[in-house]
Amino acid sequence: MTKNQLRSNPVPDHVPPEMVRNFSLFTSPGMLPTANGDPHAAVTCVHAGPPIFYAPNNTRDGRGTWVITRASDQRKVLQDTETFSSHRSIFASALGENWPMIPLELDPPAHGIFRSLLNPLFTPQRVRALEPAVRERAIALIDTIAASGTNCDVMKDFAYPFAVNIFLRFLGLPDDRLAIFVGWGKDLLHGDAVKRKAAAQRIVAFIDDLAALRRKAPVDDFMTFVVQAQVAGRPLTNEEVRGIGVLLFVAGLDTVAAAIGFDLAHLSRNPKDQEWLRSKPNRIVVAAEELLRAYPTVQMIRVATRDIDFDGVPIRKGDYISCATMIANRDPAEFECPNTIDLAREENRHTAFAHGPHRCLGSHLARREIVIGLEEWLARIPALRIKEGTAPITHGGHAFGIDNLILDWS
């Protein structure tokens, strides 16, 4: 299908025409790659309209979704897994297959079984134990950057190598294929259908091979844990092992790096915020929550399992419902002055890691990575600004991101 065919997607008959709005996280202004863009600010326009509306082209493959703009409504949707299912096979669909990433694309009660299996590996207490290695990695990268000049591309030289290294360590893998994995991740999340399929095939083959290897020769790492695990008194099937491995792979590649990029871009453009955090490094933990609120990266999509009248909106079985974190996090009904980024904001129940049973499994690790990244940057590199003559390119879409960020401290 061409893009034009996708755009002419018919609006389903049950959607009242007055509830349709010309909005898309993929094609609205500021969503396509934009120099010096601010995609998070660009989506705040929805709050001038109705709390729920229908967007005819709001997924990567051009499907329509309902858009839930209020944080309180998103909470209702994400907490009600009986009505709003997560089973979508986002990854497998790139291969023309239908199997879930686990636990993300399972619904309760099956979801809870796998979540309970994995939760202990990602608790805040466990993350504390990983912290020295995370910090060591941040310091090594930043010291290399500092030694080689007075500017760098934060994304290429820090954000990706940092976040992806930590995830590779978690899987028990060496660093030598890091650049290849980042490339797969980029193709998968942002490539066209051909690139997506090729990347998905490579990732599946890689996870399957790794699982086979760990079955034969167990070591002390995540994949060994998964292939040896039992659920409901039985070992995991190959498809379940793959579903877990693929989810971890995809989740570890992009979001933390993007968050670090957006955060350092904000501090570079707002010298007062930067100076304040430099003078009060113990406030970075609180500031990181505000940066998570202001610059979250993902939208959750749910599928209605039955017909439901949701505050007067006729949602029908099979409809897609978009809960975009970047929209809820700028909801004026939830946050005072939502478009003011106040690094000292205390009341901050943002939705960057979603709500309900699918709350981001890696949230505690992600938080620490972001905090440690900011701490070490501010401690080791002097006043940062965007290098003159360069422009960070930002984009919206399925996962918001920033492609380049050339910072200068000469």
Partner 1 sequence: MRVIVNKAKCQGHARCWAQAPEIFTLDDEGYIEPGDIKVAKRDELKAARGARSCPERALAIDRAATS
Between 18 and 347, name the residue whose CB sits nearer to partner 1.
347
Helix (H) or strand (E) holding 405: none
> CB–CB of 98/92 below 8 Å?
yes
Cβ within 8 Å of residue 123, ≥6 positions away: 364
Smallest gap from residue 15 Cβ to partner 1 (A): 30
Smallest gap from residue 119 Cβ to partner 1 (A): 4
Between 50 and 357, name the residue whose CB sits nearer to partner 1.
357
Smallest gap from residue 256 Cβ to partner 1 (A): 17
Helix (H) or strand (E) holding 298: none
Cβ within 8 Å of residue 363, ≥6 positions away: 122, 353
Smallest gap from residue 170 Cβ to partner 1 (A): 16
CA 255 to chain centre: 4
Cβ within 8 Å of residue 371, ≥6 positions away: 284, 285, 288
Between 119 and 339, name the residue whose CB sits nearer to partner 1.
119
Q: Which residues bind partner 1 (CB under 8 A)?
A: 75, 79, 116, 119-120, 122-126, 347-351, 353, 355-357, 359, 363-364
Q: Whose CA is closest to 166, among 148, 181, 187?
A: 181
Tally of CB atoms within 10 A around 90? 17
Between 183 and 357, name the residue whose CB sits nearer to partner 1.
357
Cis link prior to 109 (omega < 30° from 0)? yes
Between 348 and 404, name the residue whose CB sits nearer to partner 1.
348
Smallest gap from residue 75 Cβ to partner 1 (A): 8
Give dist(CA 361, CA 86) in Å, integer. 15
Between 22 and 123, name the residue whose CB sits nearer to partner 1.
123
Smallest gap from residue 355 Cβ to partner 1 (A): 6
